[in-house]
Chains A and B, each alone.
Chain A
Amino acid sequence: MSSHSDISAMRRLLGVAANADERTLLAIAADAVLKSGSIEAALERRVDEIARHPLSNTSEARRLIMQLEYAADRLQAALLLEGKGPLHPTAARRAAKRVVEQTSPTARTGVTVIAPNAVQPRGTGLTAEDLTDFDRLALALLVVNGGWNATSAMRLAAAASEYGVDVDDLQRIVQGLTRFIAEGEGLRGSFNEVGTHASSKLLSVRASKSASDVAEGAVERVLGRINDVIRHEVNSGSTSSQARLAIIFGAVALSWLGALGWLFFSPTKPLAPELAGAPIVAPLTGATPLIGANVAAPVDANGVSTGPLAALAAPVKYPRAPGFVPAAMSVAIVESASGGAAWIADIEDAMRVVRSEKGQIDDATLRLINDTLARAADAWPAASSYRSDLLRSIGGLARATRGSDATRRLMQAIPGTTADVNRVGLARWQRMWRGSFGAGVLTTIALDAGQPPETAAAAREEMRSRSLPIPRGEVADPFASGATTVLAIDAKALADDMAIGVITGLDDAGRWAQAVEAAATIPVFRSRAAVSAIDAVLRSPGVLDRPGPLVDFLAYAIHMLDFTGRGADAAVVRASVEGWLTDATIQPSRLWVFTSLLDADFAIAWYGPDLVLATNADDAARRDLARRVVAKFPTVGSTSIGEAVLVENSRLVEWKKEVDAVKALPTADLADRLRNAAAALAAARLGRMFEDPDDKRIKDAFEDLDSIITREAKEWNASPSGDRAGLPAAGVGDGEFAAQWQAAGRDQTARIDLIRSLAARPGSADLGPIDARLVANEALRSNQPDVRAAVSSTLVSRYTKGREVLRAVLDALADSTPSSDAKELVSGLVGSNVAGADWLSEARVLLIERLLSLEDGRLHAVDAASSEIARMASALAANYGRSGAGATAGLRPDKALAQLADAMRTEAATKFLGSPFPATVEEIERLRAARRSLAMSATQRMAAETPAIVDYAATLVVARQPALSSKVGEILANARKARTAAATAGEQIETDLEALLAVMNEGFAPEATKRDGD
């Protein structure tokens, strides 16, 4: 409400009435279209007008300017709430300044919010007096941050946490406030008081730095003033001055005492609840949410929302990243799976019996079949290599069976019947595994064109009796199809039981995941299971915004899906996500968690926090988000030969130059070849980054590659310790000291004098072989303790870099009984403590390492290049989504290459090719294992991994562009020839990795030049 002086000032300075509205105050025409900039321009004109007035320096004028600013703020707020464009920078600065100015240490406790008293809401029937503290705070945040958006959502979440308002209540409060603002008369009069005061209340902690910055000058001025006063009083020397000084210092002393007393005796504030134990949003306390409907978002002529980003929200936070790693299979399962050969043998035995019985199955044979299949059903995910052989054998058995009765009995012997999975004592995971195995086997028989019609019919009949869908059309992998169908159904049961608390751990989910991974040889099947799991979790009644197995299961299922847009299942994934976002039967709060997990998943780099759905999102907001997610879902550019990875042209040219530079590197020895291999891996890493370009990471990767290519030979050869071998003193011959020692006889004093002279030799860091041997022997075995101690001391102080001395000590240790002081001597020489029962062995190792570190050479170059291979392979593996890769400390290069091959295999396994190229994943892995078993040296172990890396790269490229198969096949053939003809394992590694670059190169295509605005 304006005071009397304000009214006078309005009339005197601006000539407007006291009850003028904001437009009149700012001289904006009633019918003018408001824009944030035009409001600011009007305000500026008014301020100029006041500044030119003779009364411009009065307090009235200053107060009037403040009134004008408030009026401008109200108009800006109204604009923001309507979503009409961004806030003008000047207005934003003014709002921020006001927040800072009004922030005070007492703001949090002094909750003296002035409620808007001119609010006349139409829709809610509420007045400003009805607003709680939190409502006002939320209202202020909405206004200050320009409506409901990511920033305001984040701040509101923080505020809600402080006030103990949970997510659902926050959602209702925001909806209510939004309607309150939109349908009411606005927040006239007291709007700014609410906004600034309540904002400062919330933002006091965040803004404390800014506030202290502002206060800094004031504090200095006050202190300066106090200083002046005290100095004046002291200088005056009068009695009154002394009295005043006594009072001042007395007051200061008392205030200190008071402060100390307060510090010691004031009650301690309760600690904030631990994050791990506390809910994400605490229960509602004291805040009365306003219930209201959503505001209809304005749309443009195309139906696209032009309003504030109503679908944005702060992602949900968890104490740890949700998800899980399936526990390793138990020893019993692994042992059972290792008996896969016995399963096959048993089934083949049964088949022979059935054939001899002219297709009939007797009871004994049926028991054998039952037992064998039960064993297989309990371990099949761990026995993938035997699975296809087992299926073939079962197929043979089915073909051998004749007669409807026999075939029916055989089908019923396949695990997974209702009676089978409901047996008492069967673990839940066993039920899942048995059911899926049975479904897989039945589907395989039912779809096998080689089966007699009556057998296939019996399999279909059994499937129908088990309520299993019978796949139609061409099925690439019938077992996977059948098994994943059942696993998809199991996912729903798992999610429901997690939701209602029947399942509290993740063991069963882990087993489910292992079964899916083992069954789904084709990505679409894995996607089917994962989609089913996500769908089940989103529709289950369980809590998602707090840590628990359900959200871990959800995160795992999300991670199973391929969001790169390159897989065969890309369309399924995209459509599923779109479907969930727009499905009205799924609550927005659950989609908030789902989209937050998508945002948090590092494998989905394109999904950002701007795609997190708000908990209060209405249908329009959900549709809008779905549209934006679909638009952002990666699509691979198409060329005439398929889907190439499109790379910005200059970047591609630069990469090709680097690849040429790698090929041109010298290949004189193993160190060179390993260096070249590391450079090739670095270039491959760059190539991989083109698929998901990130300028900064690409720049860093280019620098990594350059550092390998341009590093000088002497840098590669340099000893990691940087030490250099010491030299003997100039002008002193080898053996002189030994001669003097002999001459001194056993005179201890003379010997110690000689040792002192040795220690005093200028510039001596080593001895000749004869003297070194004598000295080492005396240091380790002298029977005169003082002499031994003196020699040891001299060696440690002067000869730690002496090659001859170190070698002599090493050789002296070969005798059986070194003295007890030997440990200390070696520890001093190598700079590392040598101790323990096996100290002699450790001492020799350290002495040799010390000796080798004193010289530069190719030994160090080989190790340096190997380290680079490990670093680059590990980094590339991380680029292929290998979790846990990236840590290279102590990682051997062959292990890092194995990590890379594993990561590439995982991705290759998600690709579907009509005809496997260059071979099936199983065959590539078999060859890899065979090569590993042949490898005897470190370089051979590396060379055992590189062919698989090249093969998987070829799979990935051809999966995108099948037309490249002949070209890539040619590269592979040449690589095979080069590998076969290679003279060393280092050369094999190098040629393989060059082939890797050649293969990757085929997959790239220059991106079309973008026009401005594209």
Chain B
Amino acid sequence: MTRTRHILVGVASCALVVLSLGARHNALDASRWEPRLALLDPLRPYDYFELAEEVADNATNADERDLANQLFGLAGALDTDRLGRSALLALAQIAASPRERDRALAAAEIIGGRGAAQRVLRAEPEQIENISRAFSFYRRGDGRKAISVLKQANADALLTEVGQALSGGADAFRSECASMRSSGSAAVDADSLRQQLIVELALRRGEARSTALDVELRGDEPLIEIDRTDPASLWRVDPQKPWWRGGKWSGS
């Protein structure tokens, strides 16, 4: 028992040492940029951008990634016309989540894009045909056939893309198919049935689908909007505090 206790205490001590060393290492990593940070001047916004790129390239922890975010944000806020779009595209590259990435890309488009991109759902006729047959087989209780046709013509990828329109998503549909016995009708609830019919019709109608079908297929998510008049929300930094003083951003 005593031996065990000693072992536990030893492990805990080691863990503490490792954690404290790690923390020290992080602090060191963040502080290694201190001299460069202190030289930044809002009259030279490009310096912020260059440093941000360097920090982002060499970032080894969350603090440094956060610092890169702040530097890109300040660069964009200080000279939106010249650096805004580049800063946002850089922020998209180091975004922590897909949502953040989408937001940064949308902001880049709004700040300086010319609408070159076009986002449409592309589906090949064979993919649509196979998804439709999969839905029919599913409703008929023939799960194995449903899975089989989904594997043809890359229909499974399309199912993943439009899965949000089905209850439980594409994965739930696949697992239900897999768990289905080889014969016997599936107990499909009215909502699921309706969703499958709508997804099939929406896919077959293509870009000519009605608003209601489109909303069922693609949802009613808001168009990402950036309020350019609110730099704090756009850049997530305070452009009034562009000086690095005493380990934090300052207004003078």
Q: Which residues of A contact B (CB under 8 A)?
A: 385, 670, 674, 769-770, 773, 807, 810-814, 841, 844-845, 848-849, 851-852, 858-860, 862-863, 866, 892-893, 926-940, 943-944, 973, 976-977, 979-980, 982-988
Contacts and interface: CB of A to CB of B under 8 A. Distances in A.
Interface in B84-136: 106, 109-110, 113-121, 125, 129, 132-133, 136
A937 B114 contact: no
Given A670-B215, A866-B211, A988-B225, A807 B139 contact: yes
A977 B234 CA distance: 12
A933 B220 contact: no
Contacts of A811: 136-137, 139-140
Contact of B114 (A773, A929, A934): A929
A807 B193 contact: yes
Interface in B191-218: 193-194, 197-198, 200-201, 204-205, 209-218
A862 B202 CA distance: 14
Contacts of B109: 930, 933-934
B227 interface: yes
A516 B136 CA distance: 59
Contacts of A849: 201
Contacts of B116: 933
Given A773-B140, A934-B106, A935-B119, A851 B222 contact: no
Interface of B: 106, 109-110, 113-121, 125, 129, 132-133, 136-137, 139-140, 185, 193-194, 197-198, 200-201, 204-205, 209-227, 229, 233
B119 A933 contact: yes
B215 A938 contact: yes
Given A936-B120, A938-B211, A976-B225, 8 more contacts: A811-B140, A862-B210, A931-B115, A937-B214, A977-B227, A983-B222, A984-B221, A984-B222
A813 B140 CA distance: 11
Nearest to A838: B125
Nearest to B219: A937
A987 to B, nearest CB: 7
A-side binding surface: helix, strand, loop or mixed? helix
A845 B201 CA distance: 6
A231 B225 CA distance: 93
Contacts of B217: 937
B205 A934 contact: no
Contact of B185 (A773, A866, A987): A773
A977 B119 CA distance: 25
15 contacts: A773-B140, A811-B136, A845-B201, A845-B205, A852-B197, A858-B212, A859-B216, A860-B212, A926-B114, A933-B113, A933-B115, A937-B219, A938-B215, A939-B220, A985-B223
Closest 10 CB pairs of A and B: A929-B115, A814-B136, A937-B218, A938-B214, A862-B212, A866-B211, A811-B136, A933-B117, A933-B115, A930-B113
Nearest to A986: B220
A976 B161 CA distance: 31
Contacts of B193: 807
A811 B229 CA distance: 54
A807 B197 CA distance: 9
A393 to B, nearest CB: 17
Given A930-B113, A943-B222, A980 B227 contact: yes
Contacts of A844: 132, 200, 204
B229 to A, nearest CB: 7
User: Residue among A934, A936, A984 with the most chain B CB within 10 A?
Assistant: A934
A931 B110 contact: yes
User: Residue among A770, A814, A988 with the most chain B CB within 10 A?
Assistant: A814
B56 to A, nearest CB: 24
A934 B119 contact: yes
A940 B197 CA distance: 23
A935 B185 CA distance: 40
A41 to B, nearest CB: 71
B212 A859 contact: yes
A983 B223 CA distance: 9
A863 B218 CA distance: 15
B211 A862 contact: yes
Nearest to A940: B223
Contacts of B194: 852
User: Residue among B118, B211, B216 with the most chain A CB within 10 A?
Assistant: B211
A316 B210 CA distance: 46
Given A770-B185, A893-B211, A813 B136 contact: yes
A934 B205 CA distance: 22
A852 B118 contact: no
B95 to A, nearest CB: 16
Contacts of B198: 852, 859
A978 to B, nearest CB: 10
B204 A863 contact: no
B200 A848 contact: yes
Contacts of A926: 113-115
Nearest to A942: B211
A934 B214 contact: no
Contacts of A932: 115
Contacts of B121: 936
B211 A939 contact: yes
Given A844-B200, A934-B224, A936-B119, A863 B219 contact: no
A937 B200 contact: no
Given A811-B136, A811-B140, A976-B229, A930 B115 contact: yes
A932 B120 CA distance: 11
B220 A670 contact: yes
Contacts of B222: 940, 943, 982-985, 987-988
Nearest to A777: B140
Given A934-B106, A937-B214, A814 B225 contact: no
Contacts of B110: 927, 930-931, 934
Contacts of A986: 220
Contact of A936 (B129, B201, B209, B218): B218
A843 to B, nearest CB: 11
A926 B201 CA distance: 34
A987 B215 CA distance: 13
Contact of A943 (B106, B204, B223): B223
Contacts of A988: 222-223, 225
B210 A863 contact: yes
B79 to A, nearest CB: 18
B220 A984 contact: yes
Contacts of A984: 220-222
A928 B220 CA distance: 19
Contact of B220 (A770, A979, A985): A985
A983 B225 CA distance: 11
Contact of A814 (B132, B216, B223, B224): B132
Contacts of B204: 841, 844-845
Contacts of B133: 814
A219 B9 CA distance: 129
Contact of A841 (B114, B129, B212, B227): B129
A772 B13 CA distance: 72
Nearest to A865: B211
Contacts of B223: 931, 934-935, 940, 943-944, 985, 988
A893 B209 CA distance: 12
Contacts of B220: 670, 937, 939, 984-986
A858 B212 CA distance: 8
A934 B225 CA distance: 10
A929 B96 CA distance: 28
A973 B132 contact: no
A945 to B, nearest CB: 10
Contacts of A980: 225-227, 233
Contacts of A927: 110
Contacts of B233: 980
A932 B193 CA distance: 33
A315 B222 CA distance: 53
A930 B114 contact: yes
B180 to A, nearest CB: 14
A849 B197 CA distance: 9
